[in-house]
Amino acid sequence: MKTSRRKFLGTMTGAAIIAGCANPKSSNESTSKTINDKHTDKIMDAIVVGAGLSGLMAAMTLEEAGLEVLTLEGRNRLGGRVYTLMDVPGKPEAAGEYIGANYARMRNTVKKLGLKLYNPEVNGIDRPWMYNIQGQNIDAKSWESHALNPLQGDDRAMLPHRFLSRISNIDNPLKDKGLDYWLSPEMQKYDIPHDQYLRSKGVSEEAIRLMNVVIHSGGMTNTSAINELRRYHVMDFNSKLSFEDGKSWKMVEGGNSLLPKAMAESLQHEPVLNKTVISFKEENGIVEIQCADNTRYKARQVVCSIPISVLRNVTFFPQIKGITKDAIDQIDYGLSIQAHYLIKSPFWEEDGLDGNMWTDGPIERFGVRTKKKESDQDAGVVFINGPESLKFRLMTDDQVFDYVEKELYKLRPSMEDKLERIMIQSCERDIHGAGDWVYWQPGQVTKFGNHMRKPHGNIHFCGEHTAIMERGMEGAFESGERAAMDIILNS
């Protein structure tokens, strides 16, 4: 059942009501679930662009406040960077995966919409890694005493895939600070390349090289130390909390994509798909939105959840200028490519090494995927991110598979004939996504960090890249709620 406007207001502070939300300019009562092109003349109270988690959260919040809301989505599916491969055995998550205990808004929405979370542990994240470093296979137990281990003393027990998170987090200047402290003037001295920060702490070149394998961005030199310090600060915050069963991370039962689906179904007007927005034009307080198929929609208020780098391809009248324009032109997303396989038989039983493989070579990581059910067939994914993923921009899917398999079999002959190709998932070639996680380059937190949430007339921006406290999926929820509240409190 929908929350009535009265009920929503009952949960809000007096200040919020005085600020104007008691009288939003809701005009058109409509009972239709879906809106199609014949509604394009109607002036909506609000239009949300993008049906990822942030856009859907904004739409739900605006609707709960009594506004009539239309959501436009460019892709032919919901969820944006939440994407369960429902047709692939085991239903792997190709994007947003782990839901932390600290994901309050997300957990609340899951519960409200009647979905369940579960522990994705069968053959999954608990399986150990084998390492291939400088061409040598090394199992986890041998790493501490291995000659290629670049760390000293007790640190030698740290496994290579943990280097980036653990070493970055030593003496983290954000420790014991609030989750918004990364934006404070005191942190600006850390808005420098992450490798430079680590060198200043005495971290060796070899450790930095291994940390560079997994960094979710354009590499250590192109990433602000604040980006990484914040990432591990938020993770620390999560690890202090837990679900009722003591676990820190979960997924949605049946696949994370069921959440955006349920959010969309809860709306009075379900999102309209295949509506790639190409321009916003605001005149006399009304925003006209033009889509690539030449349809136009009008609204008094707009929430735009388009990833910031994709906004380079969108026109604004009046133009966006100044710092926000620089942010649109300069902020980027980490890139990644995934090659998904079915595992026909357990090659790890043949060679006695661990199933998961972490390498400092071109295929970076092969992970045996988390199973949704005990009975699911084993599946695996090669996950290559950061600068190494750039070369795939020019390859077809078959060329990516050929490249990946050649490298895998060189490293691990037991894998030959054990893999069946499923699909390539690429953030690289995706015009609506442009990457996986936003990242801050050196100097960008200082320049743009506090400008990301500034509206452009009646257009309000949300999306993970505008979140203050949280990151990832919960950051998306936080930002959608904030953008909706900006409208509710100020209209």
Ligand X SMILES: Cc1cc2nc3c(=O)[nH]c(=O)nc-3n(C[C@H](O)[C@H](O)[C@H](O)COP(=O)(O)OP(=O)(O)OC[C@H]3O[C@@H](n4cnc5c(N)ncnc54)[C@H](O)[C@@H]3O)c2cc1C
Binder of ligand X out of 427, 459, 483, 485 (CB under 6 A): 427
Q: Are 386 and 218 in contact (CB under 8 A)?
A: yes
CA distances from 310 to 156, 210, 386, 435 (A): 42, 31, 18, 10
DSSP secondary structure, 255-318, as one string: -TTHHHHHHHHHSSSBPBSS--EEEEEEETTEEEEEETTS-EEEEEEEEE-S-GGGGGGSEEES
For position 214 contacting ligand X by CB under 6 A, the verdict is no
What are 428's two structure tokens?
């690289």
Interface with ligand X by CB under 6 A: which range of 228-236, 239-247, 358-366, 425-433? Answer: 425-433
**Using CB under 6 A, which of the segments 74-82, 123-131, 368-376, 394-402 binds ligand X?**
74-82
Does position 463 interact with ligand X (CB under 6 A)? The reply is yes
The token pair at 248 is: 């820190």
Distance CA 49, CA 411 (A): 45
Looking at 18-26, 75-83, 293-301, 452-460, which segment touches ligand X (CB under 6 A)?
75-83
CB of 249 to ligand X, least distance (A): 8
In angstroms, the CA 276 to CA 297 distance is 12
Q: Per-residue x/- mask for ligand X, residues 328 to 347, rule CB under 6 A?
A: --------x-----------
Options 21, 35, 49, 382; binder of ligand X; rule CB under 6 A: 49
Pick from 92, 380, 433, 449: which binds ligand X (CB under 6 A)? 433
Region near ligand X per CB under 6 A, out of 51-59, 193-201, 324-332, 439-447: 51-59
Q: Which residues pair with 359 in a beta bridge?
A: 132
Distance of CA 243 to CAs 71, 162, 250, 260, Å? 32, 23, 9, 22
DSSP SS3 for 199: helix
Q: Where are the alpha helices (DSSP H) in 218-257?
A: 225-239
Q: What is the enclosing helix (H) or strand (E) of 105?
A: helix 104-112
Give CA separation, 419 vs 95, 125, 196, 401, 413, in Å.
Answer: 22, 20, 40, 11, 12
Quote the least distance from Cβ 275 to ligand X, whole Å.
6
Torsion of the alpha carbons at 290, 460, 435 and 319, rounded to the nearest 10: 60
The contact mask relative to ligand X for 377-416 (x = CB under 6 A, - = no) is ----------------------------------------
| Residues 6+ away with beta carbon under 8 Å from 387 | 218, 219
* Residue from 42, 209, 429, 432 in contact with ligand X (CB under 6 A): 432
Tokens of 409: 């079999």
Indicate which single residue of 276, 356, 389, 446 sits in contact with ligand X (rule: CB under 6 A): 276
Task: Pick one of 270, 378, 407, 436: the residue that binds ligand X (CB under 6 A).
Answer: 436
Q: Does 72 bind ligand X (CB under 6 A)?
A: yes
With CB under 6 A as the contact rule, the residue among 415, 445, 473, 487 that binds ligand X is 473
Among 92, 160, 255, 472, binds ligand X (CB under 6 A): 472
DSSP output for 353-368:
S-SEEEESSTT-EEEE
| In the complex, least distance from residue 293 CB atom to ligand X, rounded to whole angstroms | 11
CB of 352 to ligand X, least distance (A): 30
C-alpha–C-alpha distance, residues 488 and 379, integer Å:
46
330 burial via Cβ count (<10 Å: 0-12, 13-18, 19+)? middle
- Nearest distance, CB of residue 337 and ligand X, angstroms: 10
Among 55, 193, 271, 380, binds ligand X (CB under 6 A): 55
Sole binder of ligand X in the list 259, 306, 327, 337 (CB under 6 A): 306
Minimum CB separation of residue 357 from ligand X in Å reads 18
Query: Strands 129-133 and 136-139, how do they pair?
Result: antiparallel
Site size for ligand X, by CB under 6 A?
Answer: 38
**75 interacts with ligand X by CB under 6 A:** yes
Residue 81 is a binding residue for ligand X (CB under 6 A): yes
Stretch of 76-84, 114-122, 156-164, 199-207 lying at the interface with ligand X (CB under 6 A):
76-84
Query: Should residue 230 be labelled a site residue for ligand X when binding is judged by CB under 6 A?
Result: no
Residues of this chain that interact with ligand X (CB under 6 A) are 49-55, 72-75, 80-82, 95-98, 275-277, 305-307, 310, 314, 336, 427, 432-433, 436-437, 463-464, 472-474, 476
